[in-house]
Amino acid sequence: MFFSKKKFKLASMIACGILASALFTGCGGGDSAGGSSGGGDKPAGDEIVIGANFELTGNVAQYGANANNGLKLAIKEINDAGGINGKKIKIVEADAKSEAAEAVNAATKLISDDKVVALVGPAVTANVIAESQVATDNKVPVIGPAATNPDVTVENGKVKEFIFRACFIDPQQSEVMAQFAAKDLNAKTAVLYLDSSSDYSKSLGKIFKEKFEAEGGKVVMEEAFLAKDQDFKAALTKIQTANADVIFVPAYYEEVGKIVKQARELGITSAILGTDGWDDSKVIDIAGKDALNNTFFCTHYFEGDAEVQDFIKAYKEEYKADPNVFAALGYDAGKMLINAIERGGDDGQKIRDNIETIKDLKVGTGTITMDASTHNPIKGIVVIETKDGMRELRAKIAPEG
């Protein structure tokens, strides 16, 4: 779920240009009760105003909309319980439009016009990175629910003071799946089948190869596809000749479903492995139940765990649908923010300080503690196996730290 560092730098440059323009020409009249500019100013009245900056339109709108739903559920729960010290939390929503520049526009509006004390979102890495500078300049903390690239919170070895995340990071995913392949599946050979248009996919593949070969395995072939491709059989025919023990496909559910379906149609029986981009029920709709047998992916939680049942029940009651991983991580981010405000955080700086010291907090996906040195949550990872269309817990890796 991330993009290359080169693209990050370009996004940051765009962000700075937009920020300069927006802050010096003004953003128009907002509905905030606050009178002066800057995200640290508290609005008048009995409300605590936070910003939801998510991709509500564009190519990753499904991710943003689900994460936004999770956040809104967490806020609804605390408001229904009476709020925090008599104050209700008000969410002001803005559309990042699945673009880095638009994420900056939205963040600037939320900070300057709406006087939010904190931001949750966007969903994907590039958009969180794009808004980071405007948020930091205004001392407004950000929690990225699902931004998995390490550079979101740490740049050039230095932690970003106001930027946090609610998810694990990509190197953890690749290492877990490499070790699972080598130790649990006893795999000796692997093929990488990567989305060459996605830095998320390429980076995960690179780390998987390093970790798998460190475990004594060998990556014997690497093939590539492009997002939105429909026919994968030419590459899969080549992959079939490798006769590898496992095929690692770190990609998103639309392509994954088609790849798995077509691989099985060609007679490929090898285990197929993936990461959290697989975590959507639509994979089964696309691939079919039988095709997904002998497939494994890692993700943020398992819906059968006792500790996540309260969240799942509440989400179903609110939205009449099962939550996906983005909804769960949006809920986690909301719970983190609530905890920080409850512990005396009524402005950006105090909220930042309290997010950094979160410890053993129960959230939707389990329990987390914040690593103050990286602003990454210390939390577990699960490996899921699909059998006849049903997800089963195959491994649960305890959090480190």
Give residue-wise pLDDT tens across range 150-162: 999 999 999 999 9
Q: How do strand 361-363 and strand 366-371 relate by DSSP bridges?
A: antiparallel
Higher-pLDDT residue of 14 and 54 is 54
Mean pLDDT of 187-197: 96
Banded pLDDT at 25 (limits 50, 70, 90):
very low
Helix crossing, 348-356 with 325-342: angle to 10°?
Answer: 110
pTM (two decimals): 0.80
Banded pLDDT at 3 (limits 50, 70, 90):
very low
Q: What is the CATH code for 170-299?
A: 3.40.50.2300
Please check the confidence at residue 2 and state whether its pLDDT lies above 80. no
- Residue-level pLDDT at 346: 84
**Which residue ranges does the chain devote to CATH 3.40.50.2300?**
5-167+308-379, 170-299
Mean pLDDT of 326-354: 96
- Of 106-110, 183-187, 302-306, least confident by mean pLDDT is 302-306
Cα separation, 345 vs 70, in Å, equals: 22
What ranges in 119-218 are assigned the alpha helix state H?
Answer: 125-137, 170-179, 199-214
Give the right CATH number for 5-167+308-379 from 3.30.1050.10, 3.40.50.2300, 3.40.50.720, 1.10.1060.10. Answer: 3.40.50.2300
Give residue for tokens 């494994």.
296
- DSSP letter for each residue of 256-318: HHHHHHHHHHTT--SEEEE-GGG-STHHHHHH-TGGGTTEEEEES--TTSGGGHHHHHHHHHH
Pick from 324, 301, 261: nearest CA to 382: 301
How long a stretch of residues is the chain? 401
User: Hey, which residues does 105 pair with through a beta bridge?
Assistant: none
Pick from 397, 400, 384, 370: nearest CA to 166: 370
Mean pLDDT of 247-259: 94
Banded pLDDT at 8 (limits 50, 70, 90):
very low
Cα separation, 248 vs 270, in Å, equals: 10
What is the residue-averaged pLDDT of the chain?
Answer: 88
- Residue-level pLDDT at 400: 59
Q: Report the percentage of the chain scoring pLDDT > 70.
A: 88
Mean pLDDT of 108-136: 96
pLDDT tens, 216-242?
A: 999 999 999 998 899 999 999 999 999
Residues 286 and 258: beta-carbon distance below 8 Å: yes
